Homo-oligomer: A and B are copies of this chain.
Amino acid sequence: MSTGSLEALIQALRRLPGVGVKSAQRMAFHLLQHDRAGAQELARALAHATEAVKHCRSCHTFTEHDLCEVCADPARDASVLCVVETPADQAALERSGSYHGLYYVLMGRISPLDGVGASAIGARALLERAADGGVQEVILATSFTAEGEATAHVLSEGLKSLGVRVTRLARGVPAGSELEYVDLSTIAHAMVDRR
């Protein structure tokens, strides 16, 4: 079984989050035995995405352009900025249809135990973005977990010093839950009741 390129594939698969050695082995065997076309497609998709996907200049989410589609849309309300942790959270808000402003995607959250502080999530860039003159309200839509609350707390301190209105999604969102798993009507209610 000491096949160099098979072993290399198993090791490379282990770099995926949540994939241990047994899963990586199962994935490699499956691809080589039953889905080589899928393996080649995945190889192409990985190579292309790592080359094409960058961060939106304005909101920091993933995009292939200088500005993402939302930021480039003149119909969005540029006076409101909604701060989320991940593109998945942003997508959940979009699907809820309850928000028409712009976003700032942190691409993470403050997590002291993992050594992730305010600088790692680009808090300074958010403050600069919020201070650009057009923003009148910042909605903090980080998760209602300990880390999401800590992130919201730290950000609200900095944002309030800028003089912008800072709100938080209403606690209609069940405590302890990750935003991306919340049902859409709950998100919509929480958006209306933001405080």
Contact = CB atoms under 8 A, between A and B. Distances in A.
Interface in A31-89: 31-33, 35-36, 38-50, 52-53, 61-64, 68-69, 86-88
Interface string A8-35: 1101110111100011011111111101
B43 A6 contact: no
A126 to B, nearest CB: 16
A86 B34 CA distance: 13
A18 B9 contact: no
B52 A46 contact: no
Nearest to A36: B50
A86 B16 contact: no
Given A30-B16, A88-B29, A5 B52 contact: yes
Contacts of A107: 33
A127 to B, nearest CB: 21
A183 interface: no
29 contacts: A1-B61, A1-B62, A1-B88, A1-B91, A1-B94, A2-B69, A3-B62, A3-B64, A5-B48, A5-B52, A6-B53, A6-B62, A9-B49, A11-B45, A12-B46, A13-B45, A15-B31, A15-B41, A16-B42, A25-B88, A31-B49, A31-B50, A32-B53, A32-B62, A33-B108, A39-B49, A40-B46, A40-B47, A42-B42
